[in-house]
Amino acid sequence: MNSPKTIQRLFIANRGEIALRIARTAARLGLEVSSAYSSADGGLPHLRLCHKATPLEGDPARVYLDIGKVVAAAKKLGADAIHPGYGFLSENEEFAAAVESAGMKFVGPTPDQIASLGDKIHAREAALKFGVPIVPGKSNAVESLDDALAIAGKTGYPLLIKAAGGGGGRGMRIVREPSQLADALQRASSEARAAFGDPRVFIEKYIERARHVEIQILGDGLGRAISLGERECSVQRRHQKLIEESPAPALAPADARRMSELAARFGASLNYRGAGTMEFLVPSGTSEFYFIEINTRLQVEHPVTEMRTGLDLVEEQLTVAAGHGFSSRVSSASHANGGTWIYPQQNGHAIEARVIAEDAYNGFRPSCGKMTMVTLPSGPGIRVDGWAETGLTVSPYYDSLLAKVIAWGQDREEARTRLEFALRETHIHPVSNTAPFLAEIVSETAFKSGVYDTSLLSEPRGDKKRADENRLLALAGAELISSSERFASVEYVSRPLSSWQRA
């Protein structure tokens, strides 16, 4: 692989599991790693890999979003590049421009690409112009209720109102009849303004039964782009992903290739720089697909692609940001004149499950507090990206992702079985989390079949009995830890335990 020699000191403008993920790659490449942390985050594990770190003063709920403070912290620590991770400022063109104005490299697309592609209306128009099919609807921002009614009359019901400036399910409303339109329009616009500072929304046809499939691309910023394959992302709640896998089990290989080639060619036409994801809807039972958006950053589910390709996508991002283009490994597979737009080394099957601090048996209610016992799985084909550790606290200020459990297998069933048992080995107490719920999902017939869509979690699962059983297990686990600590305090036990802990 090319080494990003023109980047020597990397600042990580993020926290949690993605900050740890980036720090590990940067440290392996021999870069000096630095970061900054809020008053709620002083003990996070990625800081142990940093050569330097500095506190960010201010409201912990907002300080990671303060462009001036983040850029100043990076300059103070002598960074020559900033990796934004995902979330926070990762898709903020003003931040990318501020980084470059300060003389540092931004590990991601150009500010102009973030601005144009982050705007879903502009991205839809660019896709349509290139010949990529888009979901039926109207890309223009809705100007009034009368405008919305006119668009709905042409699109038909059900329809989907979507925020132009962001995603993650925020600023999104399904409308099934005209009487719902006014309220849904007002709520979607207000939510979009609060979440993204942009109240614009647009309308497209709502496809009832569809799969959510995305294509991971890499662009070298020099006119070349390559697809690293597809990921199935249809296991969602409230339009947010919970499980992702590759290859997409219900997508015909010919359709997957057609989608991948089109995504790569589209990326090349944009002169795209770095890692990006093109997202599509695939109506169930068809070979059609519709473009919906581009995410101009590394995705949460990128380990699925890494497990199948053997690539390190953070390293690829750094190599491109350093001005070297693709790594030699990727470059050798990306020559367009042979029609090769898809990275050829994609082996086996990989599935990722997001372990989130939420109670899935009680409406996905958020859960916070100190983690008194954390046990994460391991074994053949198992990878865990996470920041959860015994003694750390889940605060209410940030995204509730604790860890990602990824399983690889020679085929889908091997990967699925490994993931199911890995999730059953995942214990984070007393904080409620999605691990036991997702273990149930991957063991269900519908998921096992591979023929599922975004409606998979539309029916409520779990009940109060199971929720109570999980709480009892959490209490039992906490009591077991407490008893072990009391037992270990006896002198003749504590000495050998201390020696073992240091081994």
Give me the active site residues, please. Answer: 297
Burial of 125 (0-12, 13-18, 19+ CB in 10 A): middle
CB 416 within 8 Å of CB 409: yes
Angle, in degrees to the nearest 10, between helices 120-130 and 253-269: 110
Tokens of 196: 């993204």
d(CA 172, CA 192): 8
CB 366 within 8 Å of CB 394: no
What single DSSP character describes residue 389? -
Q: What is the DSSP string of 69-113?
A: HHHHHHHHTT-SEEE--SSTTTT-HHHHHHHHHTT-EESSS-HHH
d(CA 124, CA 237): 24
DSSP bridge partners of 355: 403
Q: Which of 350, 362, 349 is nearest to 436 (CA)?
A: 362
DSSP bridge partners of 358: 366
To which H or E segment does residue 405 belong? Answer: strand 401-409
3-class secondary-structure state, position 419? helix
CB 442 within 8 Å of CB 461: no
3-class secondary-structure state, position 393? strand
CA-to-CA separations, 303 to 18, 218, 309, 487, in angstroms, rounded: 11, 15, 10, 40
Q: Which of 337, 405, 411 is nearest to 374 (CA)?
A: 405
Q: Which of 91, 198, 178, 146 is nearest to 188 (CA)?
A: 198
CB 294 within 8 Å of CB 279: yes
CA-to-CA separations, 347 to 9, 305, 413, in angstroms, rounded: 34, 10, 14
Degrees to nearest 5, angle at CA 417 with 415 and 418:
65
